[in-house]
Structure 1
Amino acid sequence: MIPGTAEALLAVVRTTHAELHRGATPAGIGLDSRLEQDLGFDSLARVELLQRVERTFGVALPEATLQTALTPRDLLAAIAVAPTHAAAPAFARASTGPPPATGGPAPVPAAAATLVEVLDWHVEAHPGRTQIILLTEGDAEERVDYRHLREVAGAVAAGLQGLGLQPRQTVAIMLPTSREYFFAYFGVLLAGGIPVPIYPPARPAQIEEHVRRHIGILANAGAGILVTVPEAMPVARLLEAGVPGLRRVVTVAGLTADSPPTPVALRADDIAFIQYTSGSTGNPKGVVLTHANLLANIRAIGQAIGVTPVDVFVSWLPLYHDMGLISAWLVSLYFGNPLVVMSPLAFLARPERWLWAIHRHRGTLSAAPNFAFELCLRRLADAPPAGLDLSSLRLLACGAEPVNPDTLRRFAERFAGSGLRPGALTPVYGLAEATVGLLVPPLGRGPWVERIDRDAFTRMGEARPAAPGHAHALAFVSWGRPLPGHQVRVVDGAGQELGERVEGRLEFKGPSAAGGYYRNPEQTRRLFHGDWLDSGDQAYAVAGEFFITGRVKDIIIRGGRNIYPHELELAVGELAGVRKGCVAVFGSPDPAAGTERLVVLAETHAVDPAGRAALQAAIARRVLEVLGEPADEVALAPPGTVLKTSSGKVRRSACRELYEAGRIGARRRAVGWQVSRLVLAAAGLRVRRGLALAGGWGYALRVGLLFAFVAPLTWLVTALLPRPEWAWAAGRAAARGFLRLCGTPVQVQGLEHLPPPGQVHVLVANHASYLDGIVLAAALPRHVGFVAKRELLGQFVPRIYLRRLGVEFVERFDVRQGAEDAARLAAAVAGGRSLAFFPEGTFTPTPGLRPFHLGAFAAAAHARVPVVPVAIRGSRAWLRADQWRPRRSPLAVVICPPVLPIDGAEGFGEAVRLRDAARAGILRHCGEPEADATSP
């Protein structure tokens, strides 16, 4: 070894430690200092350290060093035998292209009701097609086709049944990314059991303490069998004593049997697996997901992003996490496209390996949390590797933790020269309670980032766009629209749906929504608000897309893992020297890492340096014991620093503000005054929101009273007028007056596009609300005959009113009668009568322009008259479907240029052309996205 290597290595360790802990570097760092326990290097910090070591000494450390090196002395030994950096690593070989798909692209198993049926369908259709390409150490590849996956999974299933596993019993799977994980998961399903994925240890040497942290999960799941790595076998007896009901700890190799498994009948509503939302809470929450949930979400994701068998998904995401298990693997398995997968440790050790895997295998799809993109930016700080080609990517999703818009921007710019498409990189939103996916932006658009006025948002929850150049604006990114067949809304504290650009709690429902938490009825009750599920996130909506603004609870997300503060606060509070109940644990954003720093703030009476240093070390050890990873910073503070509510609950957000302002430990002259000010500010916010809520109900009452006065009077006048034109004029005056008195007059644009008086035309408008008829009556200066549903003829009041206006009625449900009505309307237009249609036929609470029926356009094509598209904007927000509480919202009508008939064109093709052109004009101006055809 070169003399001075040890000193140079320790210099690198000290520099990295100083940056990690903001300059607080102990003098005693030596070759035998433990990287985690003594120096506080978590997994991401260890990655950074190894990268700096490689750069300093010009070597390529084995990927296993990330797991095996516990001290600087271990790093020193690794340096001594490590090869120098090669000109190009093995994983940077030339592109191989996608693996061959035996038999060519195939249809999907649309009729499958369970995951086992999906696998069997593929085995029947193309058993030799590659499903999994596992990248291992040294760039070796292990391939698994559908037949091999089914055969080994069947052997595992037989072994589980031989151990006495009964249908619908749980089996915990604690395995790293490997062939064994895939075999174990389907083996449990084939045996009739319920898989329970839990995250594996970072190092086999820590298997016992790691599994002990999972005692709560294993007990809640009632797991009788744990499938894990061979290193766990020596601690089986301890686990059996600590976890009620746990009978066996086994490996995949020890499970496989020669005999076939006993077939077990599975139903769509059987549990396909339980996804625990945290690995370290005292009260675990296991999300119950059925086969129906999974397949609904998989199919919706596939429809939203257009997955086909020729796609290639490249992933390093851990398989115990729903994003890696479902979004990467099970989606690929369903649609028949190969999954190229490597271990998370391989990515952490060399982030560029992920990018080269995309290059080599011509990956079209991939996903990662925000911190992964930051890691790539730091690792490839100078420039992307020469020859790297990312042009095959059509979707690179960022999710699983808060997204930093600046990270996405810098990543897109850095790798644009490597062929990364501008619109490929995009945020996606999901949660375990929705199976995995919930919101996806339009493909190819890229991130939509809004700059929001900070004062209006923090005070009133109103997401007002900031003025250009606003120095303190907040930046939020759109996570997109709901997946096909799903609904999302934003509600206030009372569960009332909010209008656009108002922050509230995000709720959702749909076929992939979970049924609740496993053996946890209390948390399940809290999850549901009627038939809507609470996401636990805050958000606001704009044009059918949703901007996530923060977490309702103070969950800390670091490196893609959720950390819950409460248990740490309790554990640290038990230490001698810490004031019990005076501990705050919170996350603080770390832009450099693209994730959150874990900060522990504890009050103490200790003042001498030695005592405080010993207490900090004790707290660091306790955090490591509870979480399995260290805190980023342990801050000691004098009594009275940790702020609380009047009921004694820790105010973590306020403590975080103190920390980020650098005021921890600073002398404060008026603590009581500061607390009182915070309490008053909170009370003021509640009062303002209460007034806003009262104002909303007051507005609704005002509108109701106005309608109760105007509507009967308008009906009576209309009923007495002999001519439809006169009735229209009276109705128009009433509509304009009513909306003006409501404080929402209609803004009209494009009146010049209306045909001159006497010219026959067909007018078509989008339909978003019960209000649309009133809005059109107020906006249009001349009479036009409306077309309405025939059901209204059965109601006396609407029948009299609408007939006086000259409304035409059509049948919506009887096909024969509907065809006759369409012919009658076409004849009316050909006879010289202008008509107005709502070609969507109905409306829903969910924003979005639905498909148009052809009747209006067939009439226009038959009569050779122009179609006038009219876009109504704001009426859905003013009065949604199935609701009778109006909300103040601006109303606008945009009259688009007419779509003229083409000389000589007629029939079905011309009707379709008129429809598509009119719909495109309305879509541009209605302020809503294009609705999914499966939306309710």
Structure 2
Amino acid sequence: MENPTKPPYSDPKQAAHSLLKLVTELAEEVNPGNVDSGTITLDSLLDQDLGLDSLARAELIQRTEQQFTITLPTQTLAEIETPRDLLNAIFNAEQHPAAIKASADKIELPSASIYPDHVETLQELLHWHVEQHGDRPHLYVYQDADNVESISYRTLYQQAIVIADRLQSLGIGPGDTVAIMLPTCNAYFYCFYGILLSRAIPVPIYPPARPSQIEDHLVRHSKILQNAETKLLITVEQAKGLSTLLKLHVPALEHIVTTEEIESLSVEPCSSEHQPIGHAQPDEIAFLQYTSGSTGVPKGVKLTHANLLANVRAMGKAVGATSDDVFVSWLPVYHDMGLIGAWFGSLYHAIPLVIMSPLNFLTQPKRWLWALHHHRGTLTAAPNFAYELCVNKITDADLEGLDLSSVRHCWNGAEPISPTTIDAFSSRFQQYGFAPEAMNPVYGLAESSVGLTFPLSTRKPRVEWVDRQTMMNSGKAVNIETDPIEPGQQDNINARLEHSIPLIGLGHPLPGHQIRIVDSQGRELPERQEGELEFKGPSSTSGYYHSPDKTTELYHGDWLRTGDRGLTMEGELFLTGRVKDIIIKAGRNIYPQELESAVSQLNGIRKGCVAVFASANPQTGTEQLVVLAETKLEDEQEKHKLRDEIQSLSFNLLGIPTDVVALCPPHTVPKTSSGKIRRSACKTLFEESKLDAPQRAVWWQATRLFLSSAKPALIRFRRLATDWGFACYMWLVMALLAPPVWILVAILPSTSACWSVARWGSRALIKLTGTKLTIYGLEHLPDDDRPYLVIANHASYLDGLVLLAATGKEHQFVAKSELKDNFFAHTFLGKLGTHFVERFDTQQSISDSQQLTSFADSPRPLTLFPEGTLYRMAGLHDFHLGAFQIAIDKQLPVQPITLKGTRSILRDRSLFPRKGNIEVIISPQIHPEGNDWQATLALRNSARKVILENSGEPDLARETTK
């Protein structure tokens, strides 16, 4: 009788049988209906034959460790290509449960007293840290699953100087491009800064997943090296043998070296006091971030030192980063989120960065969480799929004793974010100290360095449920009244998805940055209206390297196109989709056209009848790559062979397998009348399982196709016609109302009569344009003649008219002195008793403000917009102190009034009005407490706080975002 305690891997045949069974089960889960279990052998290729991508192979390793009670080395994920490779790894592994133990525990460092606010380049930044606290640990690099090695600022600088000297001896100088194709390791950081110190330009590219892929990997990346005109490539030893092949593809490439070879070059020794050649300038390119697309012409985003420092400073300000934080990351350092967000952000703020290889995480997701526990991490970031892995691939036994209470920011970005994943992660790990408020969905892109929008306050993730049909028909986000969903209530989420769409709040623009949503004509849309997202700010790239045509396409005036669609609510960004059919898979952008073209050339596939698209995987929450192709083949064996060919083609072309290959009969793939593939319609058929629906008569299909194609065009036309119709109508109404109102105000002798006419005109405009005006807090307006000041936020040209219509009071408006030069404005406003003040002449401005004090005793309230001017982007700016000084001098109460909706109707620098609704919130009066400078500040702060809370907009104090 066989010993029941005998380990299953002690018998090779039994181990092989068990492993093949495990592999088959996983392959059938990943690609249901596309796997012939009878053909799976120990020598089947996991990628090409079985369609197992990196995440699926990570799952395979986890199941193998559980089934065989072993711990496999981290590199196993990168080395296995067949079940036989995995079987060999099993026999070489130790038999014990995987344990997570780090040689470095809680990180406790002295707080940095100052920050490098004055530095202008990355070179200056590192040198500043060396001078301030050179021996302070900067990096904690996991050498393997357990061992951590720390690197101080001084060590990083000294090692980088060595690399810089060696590079200079190889002829590398200012402006040359040097590619780095290394995994996460100490040498990566030394090489990157060594290139910077030689004033060359680093070009990070991701290393091959497995040694056998190096040739294909380098050939695919030769386009990047060609575009960058790379002079030298620093890479792994295995790539050296292909140097001749690569040089044929990249004429500019002179050297392919390993880090060991660079260090062994004979060069005069240098000291830590060595100075790099020349000094980099803020507007010089710091490095090139190539977009992660797998097909087409690569685009190298030019990021200057000024761009990068602006971005890390803005992100640090948004999240309150300090040297007391600890950042824990497994993100690859060749990707902007890991390179800029994790490394540069930590470097700037003197934050210790604990970093491990992505393989460490993928093979054992719990290592990420335990690293946060051991090092008391406060900051971390990852794409959505990582949180999904933690929910589904970590057992409760693996979490015993875990404490995540130190985490204060856990950013989720770089790919579509699932509300289901957010809910599941927060629910699962709340019992281990994770605060739901720590989960922060964010948005960024390489063209804005990395970060663009962040939540600007601590809160739970914001999910708005909007009506699905309204959103699809009009592009307008109309909220559905629902009870809040508590963490873990998955059934409620699924039930809502049938009639509503969840939109996830991605925060507000970083300080100093702006976003806007525009329609197909390039005009800015009001809030809650879907359109194309554009941005600008100091982090914005100046374009793509050696790609003037692509750079031209990127810009829309002085705004940059993102290629994403979205909308805003109270100035916060919500994404709704993509302008182009880009697929995000494994952190890379995939353009479907090239794969569609290649699949169309295969025998058995109907040419031009292939659709490649992304579909959300309901189990993982990530996007899966789907190939839908028409074929006349009916034999199942032939169809299986064709699926294998498509898998192999996808792997060779993109470097990753497809998730689903769906073969369908002729006339299944929907097309437009001009013959273009309708990928969105294909996606709908796939997700609704209607690919095998019986085919209708040709005339019926043609009719349906015409109607379905016409509907989006009709919706777009209706939106455009409605927008133009309303804009023209509103201007017509204003054109009809303005002359008689102005004439009457100009000729009437009584100020009260003038106010009655002006009030009638403003209310008529609101009523005739169908604008809903809702007023809250009228009871807070005084009903006697005691004087007071009115303070309001300034969002639109319409604000004065709204105050006229809403309050019923005769105000003493305060306007800018430039309006006195306009006869029509001066005449109209002057008859209403408006006071004009100078904004730019300091001495005159003080004099004007002093004169205002004499008018404050009137029963007609002195009414000011303390922001000083209006802004196109949502948000409340600093309040000037003049109005509050008057209130203190006269000991008068201040009446805060909040205006909402006027900005969306008529935005600054726009003459294209939009239909919308307006709210006016009249808050209780605030009385001065004291008569000194501190009382002035306190009154200003109290009034501003009330308006900020009522507006629901972000706090943009000390920003100028016109």
- Using structure 2 for the length normalisation, give the TM-score: 0.94
1:61 maps to which residue? 72
Equivalent of residue 29 in structure 2, options 15, 19, 37: 19
1:133 maps to which residue? 140
Of 785-794 and 192-201, more deviation after overlay is shown by 785-794
2:4 maps to which residue? none
1:289 aligns with 2:303: yes
CA spacing shift, 1:672–1:289, aligned 2, 3 Å? farther
Mapped partners of 1:210, 1:6: distance in 2: 31
Amino acid in the other structure paired with 2:180? I
Once the 2 structures are TM-superposed, how far is the Cα of residue 44 of structure 1 from its aligned partner? Answer: 0.5
Is the contact made by 1:643 and 1:675 (CA closer than 8 Å) also made in structure 2? no
1:371 maps to which residue? 385
| Superimposed CA distance per residue, residues 298-350 of structure 1 (whole angstroms, 9 cap, x where no aligned partner) | 11111111111221111000111100010000111111111110000000011
Mapped partners of 2:197, 2:89: distance in 1: 43
Mapped partners of 2:730, 2:84: distance in 1: 76
Amino acid in the other structure paired with 1:344? P
Of 917-926 and 619-628, more deviation after overlay is shown by 917-926
Matches within 5 A, 1:846-925: 846-902=873-929, 905-925=930-950
Once the 2 structures are TM-superposed, how far is the Cα of residue 528 of structure 1 from its aligned partner? Answer: 0.8
CA spacing shift, 1:60–1:509, aligned 2, 3 Å? same
2:43 maps to which residue? 32
Q: Which runs of 5+ in 2 are unaligned?
A: 1-8, 483-494
Amino acid in the other structure paired with 1:40? G
Q: SS of the residue aligned with 1:893?
A: strand
2:249 maps to which residue? 242
Matches within 5 A, 1:313-352: 313-352=327-366
Amino acid in the other structure paired with 1:401? E
Matches within 5 A, 1:519-538: 519-538=546-565
2:20 maps to which residue? 10
Once the 2 structures are TM-superposed, how far is the Cα of residue 552 of structure 1 from its aligned partner? Answer: 1.3
CA spacing shift, 1:686–1:727, aligned 2, 3 Å? same
Is the contact made by 1:297 and 1:511 (CA closer than 8 Å) also made in structure 2? yes
Amino acid in the other structure paired with 2:354? V
Q: SS of the residue aligned with 1:180?
A: helix
Mapped partners of 1:264, 1:635: distance in 2: 58
1:782 maps to which residue? 809
Mapped partners of 1:545, 1:682: distance in 2: 32
- Give the CA RMSD over aligned residues: 1.9
| Superimposed CA distance per residue, residues 333-390 of structure 1 (whole angstroms, 9 cap, x where no aligned partner) | 1111111100000000111111111111111110000000011111224477122111
Q: SS of the residue aligned with 1:90?
A: coil
2:419 maps to which residue? 405
Is the contact made by 2:336 and 2:446 (CA closer than 8 Å) also made in structure 1? yes
Mapped partners of 2:805, 2:206: distance in 1: 61
1:156 aligns with 2:163: yes
Is the contact made by 1:383 and 1:414 (CA closer than 8 Å) also made in structure 2? no
Is the contact made by 1:755 and 1:761 (CA closer than 8 Å) also made in structure 2? no
Mapped partners of 2:746, 2:341: distance in 1: 60
Is the contact made by 2:70 and 2:98 (CA closer than 8 Å) also made in structure 1? no
| Superimposed CA distance per residue, residues 513-537 of structure 1 (whole angstroms, 9 cap, x where no aligned partner) | 1111111122111111111111000
Is the contact made by 1:123 and 1:146 (CA closer than 8 Å) also made in structure 2? yes
Of 468-477 and 751-760, more deviation after overlay is shown by 468-477
Of 215-224 and 526-535, more deviation after overlay is shown by 215-224
Once the 2 structures are TM-superposed, how far is the Cα of residue 607 of structure 1 from its aligned partner? Answer: 2.3
Once the 2 structures are TM-superposed, how far is the Cα of residue 593 of structure 1 from its aligned partner? Answer: 1.8
CA spacing shift, 1:876–1:81, aligned 2, 3 Å? same
Is the contact made by 1:486 and 1:935 (CA closer than 8 Å) also made in structure 2? no
Mapped partners of 1:666, 1:777: distance in 2: 62
Once the 2 structures are TM-superposed, how far is the Cα of residue 665 of structure 1 from its aligned partner? Answer: 4.6
Equivalent of residue 78 in structure 1, options 89, 93, 105: 89
Equivalent of residue 643 in structure 1, options 670, 678, 681: 670
Matches within 5 A, 1:792-871: 792-830=819-857, 834-871=861-898
- Using structure 1 for the length normalisation, give the TM-score: 0.96
Mapped partners of 2:120, 2:699: distance in 1: 61
Mapped partners of 2:771, 2:330: distance in 1: 52
Once the 2 structures are TM-superposed, how far is the Cα of residue 771 of structure 1 from its aligned partner? Answer: 0.7
Q: How many residues align?
A: 930
Once the 2 structures are TM-superposed, how far is the Cα of residue 557 of structure 1 from its aligned partner? Answer: 1.2
Matches within 5 A, 1:242-321: 242-256=249-263, 257=265, 258-259=267-268, 260=270, 263-321=277-335
1:632 aligns with 2:642: no
Mapped partners of 1:628, 1:719: distance in 2: 74
Of 449-458 and 284-293, more deviation after overlay is shown by 284-293
2:490 maps to which residue? none
Of 338-347 and 857-866, more deviation after overlay is shown by 857-866
Matches within 5 A, 1:85-234: 85-86=96-97, 88-91=99-102, 96-101=105-110, 104-234=111-241
Q: SS of the residue aligned with 2:856?
A: helix
1:605 aligns with 2:632: yes
Is the contact made by 2:412 and 2:440 (CA closer than 8 Å) also made in structure 1? yes
| Superimposed CA distance per residue, residues 19-66 of structure 1 (whole angstroms, 9 cap, x where no aligned partner) | 111254421223332222322211100111111112222222222221
Q: Which runs of 5+ in 1 are unaligned?
A: none
Mapped partners of 1:833, 1:445: distance in 2: 41
Of 27-36 and 866-875, more deviation after overlay is shown by 27-36
| Superimposed CA distance per residue, residues 392-414 of structure 1 (whole angstroms, 9 cap, x where no aligned partner) | 11100000000001101111111
Is the contact made by 2:792 and 2:864 (CA closer than 8 Å) also made in structure 1? yes
Is the contact made by 1:216 and 1:281 (CA closer than 8 Å) also made in structure 2? no
Of 388-397 and 235-244, more deviation after overlay is shown by 235-244
| Superimposed CA distance per residue, residues 109-160 of structure 1 (whole angstroms, 9 cap, x where no aligned partner) | 2222211111111112111111111012141111111111112112212222
CA spacing shift, 1:572–1:217, aligned 2, 3 Å? same
Matches within 5 A, 1:532-571: 532-571=559-598
Q: SS of the residue aligned with 2:616?
A: strand
Amino acid in the other structure paired with 2:240? M
CA spacing shift, 1:391–1:384, aligned 2, 3 Å? farther
Q: SS of the residue aligned with 2:39?
A: coil
Of 528-537 and 75-84, more deviation after overlay is shown by 75-84
| Superimposed CA distance per residue, residues 761-796 of structure 1 (whole angstroms, 9 cap, x where no aligned partner) | 111111111111111111122323222222222222
